[in-house]
């Protein structure tokens, strides 16, 4: 049985034909492509919240080349080592869904997966991978998930909300948080900015008990211009290129780039 809850009152949602309903009769229809929109009206006020379609498409094309599967493998191997039957796993800010889909492939049908993102375009793309995941348009600040019902939350390069994580994880559940370190994609930064700023990463440490935390670095070789541009366009750096630096885009071809991330497993 799924762990979905009403985003208005947090009571359990029950599926009646093609509509999810709570006891208070709040109703949410399943969309044509089999996702559920559980985003409340105030969150929709900005017309298209979350990543835009072009960036999501670049992300999809890039990730499907397998360059970042080294990141996926780290996450999957932790979950596999702590495997329990019938786990409920939420991928927060899942974007276009690649990691969620691949986690499901790797970990098997015994786990129930939820992929949630505030971007409707992202979730619509995600439904193309498989319908066997609960694809949810929702806000990580108000998760449409029952209290203390999840075994695992994964959050890869996305915003998280501490109190919602605490509310939704089971007592013995854990969260895998993947964040970028200063040297992540540093070759793009050197190309784009006059000065590469070293930022403090304290703001991304969460106030939970750390079970494990380690840096993962690897240099990867992007085979051609298309892959290089896709990676650049799925990052905010692309949108920060000054007009007078735009010429660098024409010069891009195959490219060596550094993955520099921190993987932290938290217990609440």
Please, what is the minimum distance in Å from the beta carbon of residue 31 to ligand SAM?
17
Tell me the per-residue interface mask from 7 to 26 with Zn ion, x by CB under 5 A, - otherwise: -xx------------x-x-x
Q: List Cα–Cα distances, 143 to 24, 52, 151, 156, 186, in angstroms.
A: 18, 21, 15, 16, 33
Q: Which stretch binds ligand SAM (CB under 6 A): 3-11, 20-28, 151-159, 190-198?
A: 151-159
Question: Beta-strand (E) ranges in the chain?
Answer: 14-16, 19-21, 27-29, 36-37, 88-92, 112-117, 134-137, 150-156, 169-180, 209-222, 255-267
Local structure of 243: helix, strand or coil: helix
74 has binding-site annotation: no
Tell me the per-residue interface mask from 36 to 75 with ligand SAM, x by CB under 6 A, - otherwise: --------------xx-------x----------------
Binding to Zn ion (CB under 5 A): which residues in 24-63?
Answer: 24, 26
By the rule CB under 6 A, 128 interacts with ligand SAM? no
Among 153, 156, 165, 185, binds ligand SAM (CB under 6 A): 156
Complex with ligand SAM: residue 88 or 102, whichever CB lies closer: 102
Complex with Zn ion: residue 18 or 245, whichever CB lies closer: 18
Complex with Zn ion: residue 22 or 143, whichever CB lies closer: 22
By the rule CB under 6 A, 94 interacts with ligand SAM? yes
Tokens 């000065």 label which residue? 195
> Given the DSSP bridges, would you call strands 169-180 and 255-267 parallel, antiparallel or unpaired?
antiparallel
Q: Are 96 and 119 in contact (CB under 8 A)?
A: no
Tokens 């390069």 label which residue? 157
By the rule CB under 6 A, 141 interacts with ligand SAM? yes
Cα–Cα–Cα angle for 236, 242, 247, rounded to 5 degrees = 105
Site size for ligand SAM (CB under 6 A): 18
> Given the DSSP bridges, would you call strands 112-117 and 88-92 parallel, antiparallel or unpaired?
parallel
Q: What share of the chain is helix, strand, coil (3-state, %, to 5)?
A: 30, 30, 40
By the rule CB under 6 A, 153 interacts with ligand SAM? no
| Residue 32: CB atoms within 10 Å | 9
Residues making contact with ligand SAM (CB under 6 A): 50-51, 59, 93-95, 99, 117-119, 122, 139-141, 156-159
Residues making contact with Zn ion (CB under 5 A): 6, 8-9, 22, 24, 26
């Amino acid at each position: 049985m799924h762990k979905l809850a009403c985003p208005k009152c947090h009571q359990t949602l029950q599926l009646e034909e093609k509509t999810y309903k709570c006891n208070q009769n709040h109703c949410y229809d399943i969309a044509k492509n089999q996702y559920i929109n559980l985003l409340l009206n105030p969150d929709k006020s900005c017309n298209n919240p979350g990543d835009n379609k072009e960036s999501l498409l670049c992300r999809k094309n890039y990730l499907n080349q397998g360059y970042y599967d080294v990141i996926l493998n780290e996450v999957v191997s932790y979950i596999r080592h702590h495997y329990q039957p019938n786990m409920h796993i939420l991928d927060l800010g899942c974007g276009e869904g690649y990691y969620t889909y691949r986690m499901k492939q790797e970990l098997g049908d015994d786990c129930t997966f939820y992929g949630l993102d505030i971007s409707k375009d992202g979730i619509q793309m995600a439904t193309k991978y498989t319908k066997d995941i609960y694809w949810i348009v929702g806000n990580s600040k108000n998760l449409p998930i029952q209290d203390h019902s999840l075994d695992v939350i994964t959050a890869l390069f996305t915003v998280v909300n501490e109190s919602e994580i605490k509310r939704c994880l089971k007592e013995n559940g854990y969260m895998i948080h993947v964040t970028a370190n200063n040297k992540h994609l540093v070759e793009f930064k050197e190309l784009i900015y006059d000065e590469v700023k070293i930022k403090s990463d304290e703001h991304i440490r969460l106030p939970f008990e750390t079970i494990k935390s380690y840096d993962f670095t690897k240099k990867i070789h992007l085979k051609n211009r298309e892959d290089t541009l896709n990676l650049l366009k799925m990052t905010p750096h692309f949108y920060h290129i000054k007009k007078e630096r735009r010429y660098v885009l024409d010069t891009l071809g195959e490219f060596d780039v550094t993955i520099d991330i921190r993987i932290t497993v938290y217990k609440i």
